[in-house]
């Protein structure tokens, strides 16, 4: 297993829809193992394959839930179902971050529950349903695989604030397209 560099906003992989996994090969298994290692090194709760520059439709997650152990797993070829109606935006409660927009957090209203269906690495059906942070994670990671960053879903003054933060970080200007979670923290990128 290896920690892979994480793509940063401005990298074309983050705005390209991913491709369906046709066969789980040893390369795919290695990718998934590396994704778990990378997510852990970056202290994230989810990671999509295009965040480590792979075009495959896969995400991993290790997300705290209110009771019991973390929800942890891999979903190959996920299909998302958003459940419920998003509540009005609460800037204090609805903060969201992203390993591809390191060190930044912005409020984003999400559906209160979500369900993802797909398969695991052995081809077994996987159904992950959650609310709260897990629902946010499922929506966030599936968005990645569809070519969207959470910043793309922001509106109004929050969207303008996010654009300014990205500009201030100089990611597009300086060509910073990846960061290594073993040598830097998200705040240092």
The count of other CB atoms within 10 Å of the CB of residue 60 is: 25
Please state the φ and ψ torsions of residue 6, each to the nearest 5 degrees: -100, 130
**Residue of 104, 129, 141, 164 marked active site:** 141
Contact 136, 110 (CB under 8 A): yes
Residue 140 assigned to a binding site? yes
| Beta bridge partner(s), residue 118 | 126
Contact 72, 63 (CB under 8 A): yes
Establish whether 141 is a catalytic residue.
yes
Q: Are strands 95-97 and 71-83 parallel, antiparallel or unpaired?
A: unpaired
Contact 39, 46 (CB under 8 A): yes
Q: For residue 63, what are the CA distances in angstroms to 16, 68, 92?
A: 25, 11, 20
SS3 83: strand
Tell me the residue ranges of DSSP E strands in 67-181.
71-83, 95-97, 105-107, 113-119, 125-131, 178-179
Q: Which residue positions form the known binding site for Fe cation? A: 98, 140, 144
Q: Which residues are catalytic?
A: 141
Q: Which residue positions form the known binding site? A: 98, 140, 144
């Amino acid at each position: 297993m290896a920690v892979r560099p994480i793509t940063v906003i401005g990298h074309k992989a983050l705005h390209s829809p991913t491709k369906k996994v046709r066969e789980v090969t040893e390369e795919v298994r290695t990718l998934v193992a590396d994704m778990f290692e990378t997510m852990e090194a970056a202290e994230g709760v989810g990671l999509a394959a295009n965040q480590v520059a792979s075009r495959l439709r896969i995400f991993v997650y290790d997300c705290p839930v209110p009771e019991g152990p973390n929800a942890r797993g891999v979903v190959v070829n996920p299909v998302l179902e958003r459940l419920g109606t998003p509540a009005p935006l609460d800037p204090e409660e609805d903060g969201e971050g992203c390993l591809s927009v390191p060190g930044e957090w912005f409020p984003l209203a999400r559906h209160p529950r979500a369900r993802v269906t797909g398969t695991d690495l052995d081809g077994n059906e996987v159904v992950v349903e959650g609310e709260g942070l897990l629902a946010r994670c499922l929506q966030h990671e599936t968005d990645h695989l569809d070519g969207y960053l959470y910043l793309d879903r922001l509106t109004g003054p929050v969207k303008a604030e996010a654009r300014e933060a990205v500009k201030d970080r100089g990611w597009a200007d300086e060509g910073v397209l990846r960061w290594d979670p073993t040598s830097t923290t998200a705040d240092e990128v």
